[in-house]
Amino acid sequence: MTSRHEARIRAVQFLFQQDFNPGELTPALEEFWSHWKPAASVRGFAERLIRGVLRHQETLDEELRALADNWEVRRMGGVDRNVMRVALFELAHCEDIPPVVSVNEAVDIAKSLSSYESGWFVNGVLDRALRKVSRPMRAAAGTSRAPGGARRREPT
């Protein structure tokens, strides 16, 4: 498991917990991390996602509501809802992450933490979100692949 994959899983777990037991962020994070003891890179990326999702949650939920026909956000499964919040945050605010990576990770995490059918639901909703993204799908913003798969900076 890559450190970013693990960080996304931890972010979803924390956000799920916060949905049902809201509280002050800093003490809640300290309590959460006392049970996991991740590498610094995992904790750093997970907290970037957690803080970002919580900061933009109202906007993310509005977007989620618009993308998921006939679904109210509060009625979605807690894991699915938080998986999609993380992915939508990445799509909107993390240009260093290729959009297809965010969606693929969300689908994999939904399947492993929720259900196989959740993967289909998450994929369907996030596929609609991808249509609105105006940056390269398979590379971080500002980069492209050179021959042989190496990354190179695009001119600005």
**Tens digits of per-residue pLDDT, 64-122?**
999 998 889 999 999 999 999 999 999 999 999 999 999 999 999 999 999 989 999 99
Residue 145's pLDDT band (boundaries 50, 70, 90)? very low
pLDDT for position 141: 66
Helix (H) or strand (E) holding 107: helix 99-113
pLDDT for position 135: 82
pLDDT for position 149: 46
CA distance 132 to 7: 25
Residue 147's pLDDT band (boundaries 50, 70, 90)? very low
Class of the CATH-defined domain 3-132: mainly alpha
pLDDT for position 88: 98
Per-residue pLDDT, averaged over 32-47, amounts to: 95
- Domain ranges (residues) in the chain: 3-132
- Residue 90, classed as helix, strand or coil, is helix
Burial 15-34 (b: 16+ CB within 10 A, else e): bbbbeeeeeeeeebbeebbe
* pLDDT surpasses 80 at 150: no
Sign of the CA dihedral running 143, 88, 42, 45: positive
Q: Are the C-beta atoms of 135 and 91 separated by less than 8 Å?
A: no
- Residue 144, classed as helix, strand or coil, is strand
pLDDT for position 131: 92
Side-chain-side CA neighbours of 108 within 13 Å: the count stands at 13
